[in-house]
Each structure stands twice: as C-alpha cells, then as structure tokens.
Amino acid sequence: MLMSRPSLLITRRLPASVLERLRASYEVTVNPDDRALGREALLMALRSFDALSPTITDKLDAALLLNSGLRTRIIANFGAGFEHIDLEAAKRANLVVTNTPDALTDATAELTILLILMASRRAGEGERLVREGKWTGWAPTQLLGTDVKGKTLGLVGFGRIAKEAARRARAALGMRIAYHSRSRASADEESALGAEHHATLESLLAASDVISLHCPGGAATRHLINANTLARMKSTAILINTARGSVVDEDALANALAQRQIAAAGLDVYEREPAVSPALRELENVVLLPHLGSATLEARTAMGMQMADNLDSFFAGRTPPNRVA
C-alpha cells in the first residue's frame, strides 16, 4: 500500500518552479487569494495540514501555536526573518521551525545600493517631476543631489546582507565602510572590507554619511532609530532601511525629514506594513519602495527551493539544514 504524502499549506503564491517541485512530494494547497491569512484561517491550517509554509505577513503567536489539536509538525518559513513566529511557543508545541537565510542576500544587498543611489541623487523626486508633467527642461541647479564616493556607509548590523552591501558599496561606489553590531567581525573580514568597527551605535551614527539598517526585528531592536538616535546623525545624512520596519520610529523619522534634521531616507519596509505613515508619503526627501528586498525571480525561487530542502529533510527524518526552533 502506498503511504500518503504529507499535506502542505502555502500561504502565499510562489514561483512556478518551486510549486512544481513541492507538488512532486507533497499534497500542496496554495492560498488562492495570495493575501495574508487571518487568525481563523491560520488556526484551521495548523489543525489541518502536516506542514505550513508562512511568510512574514502571517503572525503565528503563542495564542495560535499553543492551541490543542494541532496537526502541523513543521513550519517551513518562506523568508529569512522569523520574528512573526513565537519560537518559544513553537518549541513548547513540539513544532520544528525553519527559515531561508542565504537565498536573499544578493538581492537585498542590491536593493540597499539602489536606495542609497536613489536617495542621494533625488531620483524619486525626479521621476515624479517627469510623470506629473512638471519638468520644464535641464537646469544647472535642478534637483542637486550629493556624491557618495568617499563618503562613509555606516552599517547597523554586520550579517550576510550588510557585508554584501559593504562589498558592493566599496567596489562600485567608492564608499568607506563602518559598522556596529552585537558581535565584532574578525580582523580578516574587517581588513577585506576596509570596515571600521564602532563600539557604540551613537559613535557610528555621528561618523556616517549614510546609515543602513541590517539588524533583526523584534523587541530588542524596536524603535532603535528614534528621535534621540536621529539627533545623533549628521544633518546631511541619509537613512536606509531594508531590514524590518519596527526598527524605525516612523513618526520620529517623518519629523526629522520634515525639519531637515537629516537629509533624506530610503525605505523598503515599514512599521505598520503595508500601511505607510501619511506623514512620510507627503515628503519629497524619502524614497518609498513596497518591500522589494528579495523581489527577484532568482532570489524568490532560491528561497522556495531552500524551503523545500528543509521540508524534505524533516519528512525524511533528518534535521532540516535551516532549523531555527
């Protein structure tokens, strides 16, 4: 008799090649609406499927994970971040949790560079000027931005994405590199990237021309960038966030930008995503992107294949390569 295949619910639409691979081994159900599932739907999924593949838009807290009668045995997250999953509750519920940490490094690092260039050269303002039919032609002092060559890129956090962004900023843009993180990099890594370590965030903020956030989300980093820390930055500085929206106090940032306390910002993530602060949307000196960090076909496919590797290992009785709980 043939053994039944594990059932898997995927909460958002994934690239076709990923679904094709998964359907070869699992009974796959894909959320047809391609929108974040509500609590009732998530609870039903946990009680109905052997495996669940959520994304950052699906909040799996203790109140959900500690329900009785759960069928799910593994939460194979599609994404590197997992602060939307209560890991302690998952452990108490004997749920394995995995993520996809490596696949989005290059794409997100590229987007960091894009935001640096867009914010420094006022590209968002220029694009709006043309689209709105308000451009009257070239002028010597029109939309003057600032060069980044020779300027200091300060990285808050120094993981895979931050290091890759540093490599690209140094090689392509001629920027100097500085960083602050919980763990100091090795001397060899610092030497290879020409990276200057700052023992405190305050020191890094004061020394940097561009601050780029690469720290995890969660309670420990919530509003790390706030009115007090923004006041430490140069008036000519640019803030870039491709990490998590919760790291930035958006009200404080909007005020700092409006008052020209800092020069500009480039954001790909938001505190109350997908809602974006109306105060930010009214400002010209901020670039606002719709969470495009890993949004390349190559990156999203690689993430899906990594997720499939985690599922395959788990159901084969092996420890998944990217287990986080």
Give the C-alpha separation, 73 to 97, whole Å.
9
Question: CA 149 to CA 50: how far, in whole Å?
Answer: 52
DSSP letters for 188-212 = HHHHHHTEEE-SSHHHHHHH-SEEE
Peptide bond into 274 cis (omega under 30): yes
Tell me the C-alpha distance between 178 and 207, whole Å: 9
160 has catalytic annotation: no
Catalytic residue among 244, 250, 271, 300: 244
Concerning whether 198 is annotated as a catalytic residue, the answer is no
Number of Cβ within 10 Å of residue 57's Cβ equals: 15
For residue 173, give the 3-state DSSP assignment. Answer: helix
Catalytic residue among 13, 168, 273, 323: 273
Tell me which of 5, 160, 291, 323 is the catalytic residue: 291
- Active site annotation includes 244: yes
Beta-ladder partners of 238: 210, 264
H or E stretch including 65? helix 62-65
3-state secondary structure string, 77-112? Answer: CCCCCCCCECHHHHHHCCCEEECCCCCCHHHHHHHH
Beta bridge partners of 178: 154, 196
Token pair listed for 296: 């390349």
Helix (H, G, I), strand (E, B) or coil at 229: helix
Rounded CA Rg of the chain:
22
What 3-state class would DSSP assign to 27? strand
Q: What CA–CA distances, in Å, run from 118 to 71, 113, 115, 266, 275?
A: 47, 9, 5, 8, 22
Q: Active-site residue numbers?
A: 244, 273, 291
